[in-house]
Amino acid sequence: MPDLDINAVDLELVERVVRDAGAIAREIAARVFQTKNKSDGSPVTEADLAVNAYLTEHLRSARPDYAWLSEENDDDHSRLTASRLFVVDPIDGTLAFVKRRPHFTVCVAVVEDGQPVVGAVYNPMTDESYAAAKGHGAFLNGERIHVTNTSQLDGSRIQASKATLNDPSWRQPWPEMHVENPNSIALRMVQVASGKFDAALTMVSLHDWDVAAADIILREAGGVMTSIEGAAPHYNGDAVIQPSVLAAGPALHAVLRARQTQEASP
């Protein structure tokens, strides 16, 4: 028998379960729903909790030997010794969900030895399912996707906040660009993967669950993701924090890194 491609098998599982979980979020979004604030002041809705419960039940029962890291669960540090684990954000872009904007996603990655090998990012309101497994390419609703090959900032399409672009560390003015900033960082990254945008950047620190699934999709679409300073991400560490994100095709990523390096120089 041929060797089992566990990444491909896991992707089939993850994409199916994420789509079903997204249907729960879509149903809740269509009615009055409960919202409360966490201890850090960020909102959590009944959709976050219901989607997390569904993902927990259907993913953990299918792969009981995988560890678990989710925004909506207490961190079980036994994950640190696991070779494979699920990294889950039930609703990435909860603020968009609360405001009834179609810019939130359900995100699940499988991380192995510190790197994502499977990822699914689903936007329930637009029915857009982004998915990738290591070595298999990246897809949007079953169609292969790829980053753009642009190397020009002037006229490019960028996902970034005003705060990021106006940060004083960027001493040179930005050229004319089309800029958007949906709440979900995963959505921003997969839209770069699909070629809808050329780059996504944020100087805000994020958690593993915000970016791991989109990271493998971007990579399999030919893109590059690092921190703003150029460090490659590593997942499932003690702190599960990514300091910043610079995601783009290789050519534009190099341009942005060179610009950041120049800005950092005396």
Determine the pLDDT at residue 263: 54
Determine the pLDDT at residue 197: 98
Instruction: Please tell me the class of the 157-264 domain.
Output: alpha beta
What is the sign of the dihedral through the CA atoms of 210, 194, 246 and 100?
Answer: negative
pLDDT averaged over 10-residue windows placed end to end, the chain, 266 residues: 78 98 97 88 92 98 97 91 96 94 97 97 98 98 98 96 89 91 96 98 96 98 96 96 97 92 54
Q: What residues does each domain of the chain span?
A: 6-144, 157-264
Question: d(Cα 258, Cα 74) in Å, to the nearest integer?
Answer: 39
The answer to whether 74 touches 38, Cβ cutoff 8 Å, is no
Enter the pTM of the model. 0.95
Question: d(Cα 110, Cα 64) in Å, to the nearest integer?
Answer: 13
Determine the pLDDT at residue 40: 80
Structural fold of domain 6-144: Fructose-1,6-Bisphosphatase; Chain A, domain 1 (3.30.540)
Question: d(Cα 3, Cα 217) in Å, to the nearest integer?
Answer: 24
Determine the pLDDT at residue 266: 44
Determine the pLDDT at residue 109: 98
Determine the pLDDT at residue 173: 86
